[in-house]
Structure 1
Amino acid sequence: MELTEDIARNFARIALGHVAREYPNKLDHVMASNADAQTPRALHPCFFGSYDWHSCVHGWWTLLTLRRLYPDMPEAADITQSAEATFTTQKLAVEAAYLDRPESRGFERPYGWGWLLFLHHEASRHADCEWAARMGPLARKFATMLRGYLEVLTYPITVGTHFNTAFALVLAREWAVARDPELVDAIDSWSLRVFSDRADYRGWEPGGDEFLSPALMAALLMRRVMPQDEFRAWYRAFMPAGRMEEMFSPADVSDRSDGKIAHLDGLNLSRAWCLREISAGMGEAEGSGPMQEMGRRHLDAAMPHVAGDYMGEHWLASFALLALLAPH
């Protein structure tokens, strides 16, 4: 399956329908007093929509990415107008000030951090607009917080939900390569320290509410950090031959109105993304063909469900876009 303009327009309409939708809303907000009891829009004037802060951030990543890839589609003008009204200096300053609260140390860590940096990276590709320049101070705050976090994070978090370390580092590293060599070094050295000796993976996947594969996310991070030949050797030890087919078949989703169970549609999409990316680092002799086919099956299982129920609709298009843009 390939990204087409029809798919792009559909994804754009979906995201435009939720990035400015304030309710329902699930806040990640620690309150120190009654004064902190505020609405999502008051707390986060840029990212108050899409059910939660991080989904709004990656909803905007979806929109800006589609605007760049299909600048002439009718929805591109709506994206531009909405982004210009959203990414103002004043509103972004409120988002940045929120991080200065002592209670915000763990706000959206690390998932939202990675997505915000990834959004800023995409914004920098839109030379006709000032979004990246305005967003820069907020991105740099998150980069500083991430460096500090890696200094104290002794062990990787390998769950398949928002706390997964590898996922956030994959996104953050792409931002850092272009603008923060110290963060690249911090990510690479940390990743090699905690993952390079991992071998013979035997985790139980999937968990009932996961949208990431702990194994494939670790592998994708190492694919980015290691030279190709070293990665191939690492992957052979990490995921012995035959284990892939045994572990990775598309997940069944029993109830898409349940926000946690609906995560499994995201698991199918994120697995497709990882399988496509990882296979690009493997030769045919290493099984890249079967990996691509496995990725196709996961993508086919989830694409019909990107829209339908708001519990999935407010975020799934971003993961579908990651998968569709991956090399294959």
Structure 2
Amino acid sequence: MLGLECGSMKNQLIGIFLLAAVASAACGYPEVELAEDKTVSVGALEISRDEAADLAAFIDSISFESVPNLDLEMALTLVAMPLSCLDRPHAAPRDRSTYLDETVAARRPGYERNRSFYGCWDWHSAVNSTWAMVKIHKEYPSLPVSGLVREKLNDHLSARALEGELEYFETAGGFERPYGYAWLLKLYAELRTWDDPDAPEWADNLEPLAALFSERMVAYLADLERPSRSGAHSNTSFALAMMLDYARIVKDNALEEAIYESSQRLFLDDYGCPTAYEPWGSDFLSPCLEEAALMAEILEPDEFLTWFEDFMPQVNAREFLPLTTPVDTSEEPSNSDSEEQAADTQVTEPATEGFSGDEEETRKTTTSDEEQRRIDEETRALGGKSHLIGLAFIRGDAMNRIAAVLPPGDLRSEAYQKLAALHGAMGFEAMFDADYAGSHWIGTFALKYLLTEVPE
């Protein structure tokens, strides 16, 4: 591919942008192996497995290549991903409601006009891709592709398209709650705070759907008895943290109060987070880190420190090791044990795009059951691999959020920041290794990671 070398991450990113597509690279995470001196070697990083290890020495041992900044070059790379998928329709919803009956899916007529978030593999990824385009355009208004970005925003955030979204969600039950709701509210807050001549109109168009989601979340949280501690879309902590940002920005007092109340009710008594079991299957979130990052926003500083010390192992302790050890995604992907991932992963083949009922029937008759199973398994495996790659950015983001609230001079803050950078560097190395299964969403989380403020 353009003569790019695996070791040159920067060139790899530029090449991806120029092609406006996703390319697989041979780069991967370094191998993790137990050394004789009871340390775990991860590239240049050595993490002591002795709980009494000196924290300062642990910090000094963390080594990694530099992490990119959000400069013009990186902005172009990241915005290329949503631009290349926003108009690429979701795949046919295969293997759903087919236990006893065969179903034939037909594309909804006129979906380009009365739907906003029909691209980028699935609904929530289309929403967070739209947020990524807005955020990058806010940061770099003179981006060479800014005209194309505005064209996409005009199409996907039109009054007609969002009226269609609202009509659908009025009877959609719990579809995309809470994860998709959180991204939609984040997008709305981004538009409301954008000093751009078109942003108020886009925000006004989105406001009814945002208001519906906010109202539903208040009712949902009031009845929520137990949180989801999943490492995937249903995770409660991740969604509440993003919704809290939205509520503070737009002064949605009802939702903000609901988040404060439910967070303390659901999480305040937690202790001893089982970090040894992360990640599970093909997690793309860290349940322990996300819960800690949420509670850092909810509790007063002194109260958080007391809670945090009971909840999370010491950063240089053996129990914390799984959160510092990268997941090796360099091998060929294999099917994940995560049922949630399998359910969330849709098959996306060129043959299914823009399908009609007749075309879908033709595809079914021309693809053998065995071949179709193979395609489905490979797609699910790439989806699981993409989750484990994205986990690096999401861990880094959560670690930086935790570091930001630890007291000045607290060595744990420095440790969390360095580990966040380590994960970020690894995420950028593997960002394009899962093809379209990764490119339709990972760039959004890379951007979120790069935007997280860290202490000076």
The TM-score with structure 2 as length reference comes to 0.67
* Residues 1:42 and 2:115 aligned together: no
CA RMSD of aligned residues (A): 2.4
| Higher helix content, 1 or 2 | 1
Residue of structure 1 in register with 2:173 after alignment: 105
In the TM superposition, 1:60-71 aligns within 5 A as: 60-71=130-141
Q: Greater CA deviation, 238-247 or 69-78?
A: 238-247
Partners in 2 of 1:26 and 1:317 — Cα distance?
24
Letter in 1 for 2:405: G
1:202 to 268, 274, 290: 274
Does structure 2 retain, via aligned residues, the 8 Å contact 1:18–1:314?
Answer: yes
Residue of structure 1 in register with 2:9 after alignment: none
Q: CA deviation at 1:304?
A: 2.7
The TM-score with structure 1 as length reference comes to 0.92
Sequence identity (%): 31
Q: CA deviation at 1:126?
A: 2.4
Does structure 2 retain, via aligned residues, the 8 Å contact 1:14–1:307?
Answer: no
Partners in 1 of 2:214 and 2:237 — Cα distance?
15
Does structure 2 retain, via aligned residues, the 8 Å contact 1:306–1:316?
Answer: yes
Partners in 1 of 2:302 and 2:232 — Cα distance?
30
Does structure 2 retain, via aligned residues, the 8 Å contact 1:232–1:281?
Answer: no
* Residues 1:288 and 2:288 aligned together: no
Q: CA deviation at 1:26?
A: 5.4
SS at match of 1:105: coil
Q: Greater CA deviation, 75-84 or 187-196?
A: 75-84
Q: Greater CA deviation, 170-179 or 186-195?
A: 170-179
Partners in 2 of 1:168 and 1:145 — Cα distance?
14
* Residues 1:144 and 2:269 aligned together: no
Stretches of structure 2 that go unaligned for 5 or more consecutive residues are 1-66, 98-102, 334-378
2:91 to 13, 20, 24: 24
* Residues 1:10 and 2:134 aligned together: no
* Residues 1:191 and 2:259 aligned together: no
* Residues 1:229 and 2:302 aligned together: yes
Q: CA deviation at 1:208?
A: 1.9
Partners in 2 of 1:212 and 1:115 — Cα distance?
15
Q: CA deviation at 1:73?
A: 1.2
Shift in alpha-carbon separation, 1:245–1:224, aligned structure 2, 3 A: same
In the TM superposition, 1:307-318 aligns within 5 A as: 307=432, 309-318=435-444
Aligned length: 324
Letter in 1 for 2:324: F
In the TM superposition, 1:150-299 aligns within 5 A as: 150-177=221-248, 178-203=250-275, 204-241=277-314, 242=317, 243-245=319-321, 247-253=323-329, 254-255=331-332, 258-283=382-407, 284-299=409-424
Partners in 1 of 2:83 and 2:93 — Cα distance?
19
Q: CA deviation at 1:13?
A: 1.2
* Residues 1:301 and 2:369 aligned together: no
Shift in alpha-carbon separation, 1:26–1:303, aligned structure 2, 3 A: farther
Partners in 1 of 2:295 and 2:170 — Cα distance?
32
Does structure 2 retain, via aligned residues, the 8 Å contact 1:25–1:49?
Answer: no
| Per-residue Cα deviation, 1:142-200 (whole angstroms, up to 9, x for no partner) | 11111111122100100100000111111111111123111100001100111111111
Partners in 2 of 1:179 and 1:90 — Cα distance?
27
Shift in alpha-carbon separation, 1:93–1:246, aligned structure 2, 3 A: closer
Q: CA deviation at 1:240?
A: 2.8
Structure showing greater relative contact order (alpha-carbon pairs closer than 8 Å, 6 or more residues apart): 2
| Per-residue Cα deviation, 1:19-77 (whole angstroms, up to 9, x for no partner) | 111143659x99xxx99954497396100000000000000010000000011111222
